[in-house]
Amino acid sequence: MGVSTISLGLGLGGGKAATSSGRSGGGGGGFNIDLRDTHSNIIARSGDAVGTIAFATDTYDLYVFDGSNWYFYDYNSTTAFASTLSASFDGTDDYLAVGSSYDLGTLSLWFKSDATITKSSSTKALVGFTGVSTYAVYASIQTGGNVTGAVTDELITLYTGDWAYSYSSSSGSINTDWHHLAVRWTGSDYEIYLDGTQVKNDDGQVVGDQSKAKIPISSFDVGIRNGSDRHFDGLIDEVAIWSTPLSASATADLYNSGVPSDLTSLSPNGWWRMGENDSGSNGATIGTVTDQGSGGNNGTGTNGPTYSSTTP
C-alpha cells in the first residue's frame, strides 16, 4: 500500500462505502470517506478477508476491503469537533451573563465541581434564570441540598420559583469528575438527566397555586443565581438551550458516552462553547463568549471568570 499499516481483520461484511463525511467525537480527527476504486496503492493489495480494515500509521488513514476493492477513508483533522476550553468559576463572584428570550424546553451543559456534591453540600447554581415566575423573579439549576422545603435530600434541583424538580438521594453523591447535565420539559413536567440517565425522582410545589409549566426566560447567567448568590465553584462547558424540547432519546444522547459532540444538527437556540470560537486560551479572562446557536445572544464574562484547558 505504500504506507505502514496494521491489518485488523474485523470482518465487517462486504458492503461498499458510499461517498460521505463523518466526525469522531471529542478531540479526535474526522474521516472524509471517498470511493477510490482506482487508487493504485489500494487495489495492488489482495488476498484479505472481506471487511478487513487497515490503518496507516503515518497518515492516519483507514482502508476497508470489500472483497474486490479497497476503499480509502481519508483523515482530515480540520473536520474534527473538539472541546478544548471550558469556563472556570471561582465560587466567589464571577459568572457569565447571557441575554435570551426563550422558553426552557431543553438545556444541556457539562460541569466539574471542585467538591463532591451530596445532600449536605451548600447550594451552587450552574445556571440562573430571570423572568420566570409569578411568585419569583429568578429560577436556577443548582447542586447541593437545602434548596427548598418542597423537596429533600437533593443533589440537583431545577427550581422555578413555583416548583422544585429534584434528583434526590439520602446517601448518593456526585464526584468531582466531569458530568453532563440536561433538563427537559415533557409537556407536563421537567425531567433531569445526569450522564445520559433520567434521574429526577422528586418534585414539589414551592409557593402559590400555580400549575407546572414550561419556564419563560428573559435572561440567564452561568455560574450564579439571581445575579448575586450561590456562586458555582468549578468548571462549566458547552452550555446549550432549546426553546422546543428535544425528545427523551435525543436528550439522553447529548451525553455521547462522556464526550461533548457537535450540536449543530440539533439547531440549538443558544450554544456557548466557552472559548473555542472566541480565540480563548488557558488562564485568560473571559470576555465575550459568542453564541453559536441561532439566537445571537452572546455571553459576557463578569467579575473575572477564566478559560481552562481542562475539558470533558
Give just the sign of the alpha carbon dihedral 222, 224, 225, 227. negative
What digits encode the pLDDT tens for the residues 152-168?
999 999 988 788 899 99
Q: What is the residue type of 294? A: S
Position 251 scores a pLDDT of 97
What confidence score (pLDDT) does residue 263 get?
Answer: 95
Dump the DSSP string for 132-144.
--SS-SEEEEEES
Q: Of the ranges 5-9, 49-53, 136-140, 279-283, which is most confident?
A: 279-283
Give pLDDT, residue 252. 97
pLDDT, greater one: 190 or 49: 190
CA distances, 63 to each of 131, 141, 257 (Å): 55, 47, 26
Q: What does the pLDDT read at residue 74?
A: 62
Comparing 113 with 102, the larger pLDDT belongs to: 113
> Which tens digit of pLDDT belongs to each residue from 23-66?
233 333 443 333 333 334 444 455 677 877 776 655 566 777 77
**What pLDDT does 279 receive?**
87
Mean pLDDT confidence for 106-119: 96
pLDDT at 60: 60
DSSP H/E element including 198: strand 197-198
Task: Tell me which residue of 123, 230, 118 sits closest to 175, measured CA to CA.
Answer: 118
Q: 232-260 in b/e burial notation, b at 16+ Cβ within 10 A?
A: bebbbbbbbbbbebbeeeebbbbbeeebb
Confidence (pTM): 0.75
Highest mean pLDDT pick, 30-39, 142-151, 239-248? 239-248
The answer, yes or no, to whether residue 81 has pLDDT greater than 90, is: no
> Above 70 in pLDDT, residue 215?
yes
